[in-house]
């Protein structure tokens, strides 16, 4: 699914006017994995919510395969994963996945069965376990399995692994990169972690502090799995740090594309 964000600005108006995004234009091609990074409050989650039709832009336009996001929502083409896995505590792991599959794909044959999805995220042995008995990492894996059965064309991911410990987070990031490589949905991934962005994404988009504007758009042309010690990885890391810190190099990055 191709995502186009065209000159989008968004202001929250609860008593006062709070600009959250200003003049953001961005195209994410079908099957591309784009990470959004930027300081806290720069509007990353707002952009995801706009793409999911949970908010309407104050100015500008967003399209998914040329249609307004509402269309993709009714077609159940958008999957959402956030920090909190939002599992149903009275259902087992398998039942949680089954329920989501039924809800999202009433009329379609799913490519992945709930059991296959559990297997894919390494939870085959936990099918009969209730969410409270799963660790934080396992709960997030379960949420990922649920997302996989939805077969959505666009995955909107709002720091899905941010609440996990560093090791679990790294492991899940690698697993997710592998799953994405097999299914190739379009992904927009919000993160504070530039290593996570560099491990996963085809492109990293950097936002300025609030109200968020596009500060840099960096292609990550490195083979997967990405190796942190590679010189090319380190060069990209420096570019991203410079962009985040607002050094002059950031403007060059933006102009270079």
Residues that bind ligand ATP (CB under 6 A): 12, 14, 18, 20, 38, 40-46, 210
Token pair for 241: 């740090």
Nearest by Cα to 173 from 250, 225, 241, 103 = 225
Closer to ligand ATP by Cβ: residue 17 or 106:
17
CA torsion angle 43 46 47 51 (round to 10) = 180
175 near 121, Cβ under 8 Å?
yes
**Letter string b/e over residues 136-154, b meaning 16 or more CB atoms within 10 A of that residue's CB:** ebbbbbbbbbbbbbbbbbb
**Among residues 40 and 74, whose Cβ is nearest to ligand ATP?**
40
The least CB distance from residue 88 to ligand ATP, in Å, is 25
Provide the 8-state DSSP code for 133: G
Nearer to ligand ATP by Cβ, of 41 and 122: the residue is 41
Beta-carbon contacts of residue 66 (< 8 Å; ≥ 6 apart): 2, 4
How many CB atoms sit inside 10 A of residue 155's CB?
Answer: 24
Give the nearest distance from C-beta 167 to ligand ATP in angstroms.
23
CB of 39 to ligand ATP, least distance (A): 7
Pick 104 or 169: Cβ nearer ligand ATP: 169
Can you name the residues that pair with 158 across neighbouring β-strands?
82, 190
- CB atoms inside a 10 Å sphere around CB 203: 19
Q: How far is the CB of 207 from ligand ATP (least distance, A)?
A: 7
Residue 31: partners with Cβ closer than 8 Å, 6 or more residues away: 184, 185, 186
Minimum Å gap between C-beta 237 and ligand ATP is 20
Q: Which is nearer to ligand ATP, 197 or 210 (CB)?
A: 210
Complex with ligand ATP: residue 22 or 98, whichever CB lies closer:
22
Which of 33, 35, 82, 40 minimizes the C-alpha distance to 195?
35
Q: In the bound complex, what is the minimum distance in angstroms from residue 222's beta carbon to ligand ATP?
A: 25
Least separation in angstroms between CB 52 and ligand ATP: 13
Report the C-alpha gap between 136 and 122 in whole angstroms: 14
In the bound state with ligand ATP, the residue whose beta carbon lies nearer, of 7 and 234, is 7
């Amino acid at each position: 699914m191709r995502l186009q964000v065209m000159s989008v600005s968004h202001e929250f108006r609860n008593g006062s006017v709070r600009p959250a995004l200003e003049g953001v234009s961005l195209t994410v091609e079908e099957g591309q994995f784009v990470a959004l990074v930027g300081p806290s409050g720069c509007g990353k989650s707002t952009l995801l919510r706009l793409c999911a039709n949970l908010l309407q832009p104050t100015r500008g336009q967003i399209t998914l395969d040329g249609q307004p996001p509402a269309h993709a929502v009714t077609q159940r083409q958008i999957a959402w994963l956030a920090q909190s896995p939002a599992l149903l505590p009275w259902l087992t792991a398998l039942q949680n996945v089954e329920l989501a599959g039924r809800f999202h794909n009433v009329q379609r044959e799913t490519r992945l069965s709930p059991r296959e999805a559990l297997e894919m995220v390494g939870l085959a042995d936990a099918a009969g376990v209730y969410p409270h008995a799963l660790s934080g990492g396992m709960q997030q894996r379960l949420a990922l399995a649920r997302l996989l059965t939805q077969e959505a064309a666009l995955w909107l991911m709002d720091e899905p692994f941010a609440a996990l410990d560093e090791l679990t987070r790294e492991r899940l990031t690698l697993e997710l990169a592998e799953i994405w490589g097999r299914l190739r949905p379009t992904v927009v991934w919000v993160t504070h972690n530039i290593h996570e962005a560099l491990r996963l994404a085809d492109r990293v988009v950097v936002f300025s502090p609030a109200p968020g504007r596009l500060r840099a758009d960096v292609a990550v042309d490195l083979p997967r799995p990405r190796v942190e010690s590679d010189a090319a990885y380190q060069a990209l890391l420096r570019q991203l740090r410079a962009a985040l810190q607002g050094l002059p190099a950031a403007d060059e990055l933006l102009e270079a594309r």
